[in-house]
Amino acid sequence: MNLIILFCLLFTIILKYGDSAAFNTATGKENEMVLPEIVGNKFLYFGFGSNLLLKRIRIQNKTAVRKNIGKLKDYELDFYTNSTRWQGAPATIVPRLEKTVWGAVWEIDLNHMDDLDKQEGVDQGVYIPISVPIETPDGQTLICRAYRLTKLPPELRENEPIPFDRQPSSTYLKTIIKGAIESGLPEKYIEFLKHFKHNGNTVESIEKDLELSEIVI
């Protein structure tokens, strides 16, 4: 009788949790989903905005190492809402068929994932983390952690003016462009970045810290 009860309990647990119940050997926690971007005690992160730039990402993520570059297919780079720090709209990725977002693939210590989440405002509901397939120039497909804004920007009609809440600051856009150049993204994509409309705002302290004076937009 006891064996029957035990079997029923085990069967109920399996039905409830399925494959989502796992033991994460990297963190030592039971019943924690093992994310596909985790590799041993590291995780892969796809940076497409200000975190393209080494000096920027290292401010809060000291272990970040750029391992490669890659592209995310069927997504588009966009800007939306407002960042007080950057004085303009921050970057996001939006599902769009036949569009492509290029970025840097970073390897970061797993125990710093929470630091990256905090930088992206996950705890405040600003961004949400997603796992995305990134294609590298040498033909690999790497599953990486990326962040998109919780609130997706609406699709603009053809020839519709760019609203102010869709414009990054000059400083933010220059940071992205400098990071794209530093990462070695395709020249055509860098030119594409330079043509984004910005709001003209400059954050002098960030311009100085990230040495953006040589970037002209």
Which residues carry out catalysis? Answer: 120
Q: Is 46 annotated as a binding residue?
A: yes
Q: Is 79 annotated as a binding residue?
A: no
Q: Is 17 annotated as a binding residue?
A: no
Q: Is 50 annotated as a binding residue?
A: yes
Element (H, E) at 56: helix 54-57
The closest alpha carbon to 114, from 65, 77, 60, belongs to 60
Describe the crossing of helices 187-194 and 170-183 by its angle, rounded to 10 degrees: 180
**What residues are paired with 72 via a beta bridge?**
101
| Count of all residues that appear for the chain in the document | 217
CA torsion, points 15, 17, 22, 27, in degrees to nearest 10? -160
Q: Is 164 annotated as a binding residue?
A: no
Q: Is 172 annotated as a binding residue?
A: yes
Token pair listed for 58: 């290292």
Q: Point out the annotated binding site for substrate.
A: 45-50, 172
Q: Point out the annotated binding site.
A: 45-50, 172
